[in-house]
Chain A
Amino acid sequence: MCILIIADIKNNQINPATAELFTAANTIAKDIITTVYLLIPCNDVKITSNYRPDVKTIVIGMSIYNYNAQGLSKAIASIAHDIKAHYIIGLHTPFTIDFLPSISIEYNAHCITQVHTIQHDEHLTFVRGSCSGKLDQYIDIDNKPVVASIAPGSFDEYVADDTDNSINDTINEVTQITIAAAEKQLCTFITKENKDSSLDEADIIIGVGKGIGSKDNLTLIYNFAKIFPHSAVAGSRIVCDYGWLPYSKQVGITGKSIAPRVYIACAISGSSQHIAGIKGAKTIIAINKDNDAPIFNISHYGVVEDIFTFIPQFLEYVKRL
């Protein structure tokens, strides 16, 4: 069997979370002898180390500044064809998801996106969140090749075991594939300077969802946060779209990934987009009036209450202490 792993690119480097895909690949392979290829979608990132001694690395001969989703997906499909890939997996990030589904059309494969679990018992099944995270969709794998995106944080990063003493920093085999000049385009990168590191430094982060209702109501959340030293307030994407919080406070796939000691999700339902950003939190506490909210599935403690009644009482209690 053959698995093609697509490295994700972040800040002009290989996204370290790419290592999670090696664990996903091991789950897919189970006991089947498998050749694993690592594909790097552009030739201007530093290839730092090999993840496994047996992995062959393929580099697409295209600069990230000439990125073109159509050209790239065709090139990957043709590589997949040459190596007879059964599975092509990438991270479910804005960078990779742009071209990944197109490979499925060029390569005549299934396309399964935002997978969070892979089960390999008697059958191989990919599991993804659906219905706003309220249900999981199980997809049985047949003989057709599969292109899949894996939600970041779903698998542990692959760590070579001690017996893998052949692991080293050299690249075993690199093949460069060149993309036709006609399919290159000129890209500029725009980086907004962000000196706001409050979400990286906070011990406790209070997250707020659309349920807060208005920017004015955020005062309640700020007052809640003030109780804790080293705290910060964050929000789901929609809260930032509405301008209630700046985008630098957005947590999720398109925002930040956070890893505080405690995360308190206030009126956040818990879409898989948001959940992918909070998996690093050591303790997750959810306050939500809907006891079916998917956020409770990944929380350590749950409070089924309306934040507008619960938080004021909590503030009152702390004041009296």
Chain B
Amino acid sequence: MSIPYKILVCIKQVPDANAKIYLEKTKPHYDEKTVYVINRYDEYALEEALQLKDKGLTHYIHTISAGPDRIQKALRRSLEMGADEAYHIVTGDDDCAIPYYVAQCITDFAKNEYDIILTGVMSQDAMNQQTGQLIASMLGYNYATGVTGIQTNDDVITVTRELDAQTSMQYALKIPCVIAVQSSSIIPRYPSLSNVLRAKKQHIGMIKPIMSSQVQYHSFYTIPQKTTECEFIQGRTDQKVVELYKILHRNAVV
């Protein structure tokens, strides 16, 4: 009997879409005014877990995140949304940008403790789309990615995995398993007042990262090269309107 499930949701804190980014030497740097949020795909992963909780299938949702002190805000938010416990793997900004290392740390924490490990399909900033798969392979668990639907029947979980806008695959995963959740039309919930009050008092567990934060490969960042020479239309707004009309006319669409 597997119910109630023990669930771990992996979350990442990311700069919001409006964040201004700078290059500092060859590394990304966000200015101090940057607002950080939970990666949107991870919110969907947490929402899937919370829906299992609503159905009485779990009362054991843990969240985990790797990064510097500021990520505690994201973990606190996960408690406010309804997670039961939150854990912080304390790493620097550079280490938590390496999917292999983050997967190693999470695998080391999760060991054989959880029935279902949920992640977002990718992070909206780095877009690596591999951490879930790496965790599953390190643990030797069944897994599925790009999941937009989860149905449970004791120790068998049926997932719907999106291939494109028209096509999905459906199959069963035996637990323990890893599920990487794709965004969908379910809307991740806002924290309720009672959860916000409860979360205030909650302790966030601090986890020491595993050793060997050896960089897997040498990498550096640059401003993207333009693949087109973008001609910026200049002038006042009304002049730009006229100019854009001319361009569209030249391209024979008006």
Contacts and interface: CB of A to CB of B under 8 A. Distances in A.
A22 interface: no
B78 interface: no
Contact of A310 (B133, B172, B241): B241
A318 interface: yes
Nearest to B252: A261
A130 B171 contact: no
Contacts of B241: 310, 313-314, 317
B194 interface: no
B169 interface: yes
B77 interface: no
Given A102-B133, A114-B129, A250-B165, A190 B170 contact: yes
Interface in B135-191: 136-138, 140-146, 160-172, 182-185, 187
Nearest to B247: A301
A134 B233 CA distance: 21
Contacts of A299: 228, 230
Contacts of A60: none
B20 to A, nearest CB: 7
Interface in A95-132: 95, 97-102, 104-106, 110-114, 129-132
Nearest to B128: A113
A111 B99 contact: yes
Contacts of B21: 131, 134-135
Interface of A is mostly: mixed
Nearest to A316: B241
Interface in B1-56: 15, 17-18, 20-21, 23, 28, 40
B222 interface: yes
Nearest to A317: B241
Contacts of B228: 284, 297-300
Interface stretch (B61-69, B82-90, B112-120, B213-221): B213-221
Contacts of B165: 192, 194, 247-248, 250, 254-256
A138 B221 contact: yes
Contacts of A111: 99-100, 130, 134
Interface string A184-218: 01111111111000000001100000100000000
A135 B23 contact: yes
B253 A261 contact: yes
Given A70-B142, A302-B232, A192 B166 contact: yes
Contacts of A138: 219-222
A74 B136 CA distance: 13
A297 B217 contact: no
Contacts of A290: 18
A185 B172 contact: yes
Interface stretch (A33-41, A166-174, A268-276): A268-276
A94 B162 contact: yes
Interface string A229-248: 01100000110011100011
A314 to B, nearest CB: 5
Contacts of B218: 139-140, 142
A11 B167 contact: yes
Nearest to B158: A188
A80 interface: no
A155 B159 CA distance: 33
Given A94-B164, A238-B183, A317 B242 contact: yes
Contacts of A256: 164-165
A114 B244 CA distance: 33
B251 interface: yes
B193 to A, nearest CB: 24
Nearest to B133: A101
Given A98-B145, A105-B138, A69 B133 contact: yes
Most chain A beta-carbon contacts within 10 A, residue among B137, B145, B168: B137
A98 B161 contact: yes
B248 to A, nearest CB: 7
B164 A254 contact: yes
Interface in A281-321: 282-286, 290-292, 294, 296-305, 309-310, 313-314, 317-318
Interface in A50-76: 67-70, 73
B212 interface: no
B226 interface: yes
Contact of A297 (B169, B225, B253): B225
A269 B17 contact: yes
Contacts of B229: 300
13 contacts: A94-B145, A98-B146, A136-B221, A138-B222, A193-B166, A242-B187, A248-B166, A254-B164, A256-B164, A261-B252, A297-B227, A303-B240, A318-B245
Given A135-B28, A190-B167, 5 more contacts: A92-B129, A98-B146, A132-B127, A262-B253, A294-B224
Interface of B: 15, 17-18, 20-21, 23, 28, 40, 99-100, 124-130, 133-134, 136-138, 140-146, 160-172, 182-185, 187, 216-233, 237-238, 240-242, 244-245, 247-248, 251-254
Per CB-CB distance, the 6 closest pairs between chain A and chain B, nearest first, are: A101-B130, A105-B137, A101-B133, A102-B137, A187-B171, A204-B253
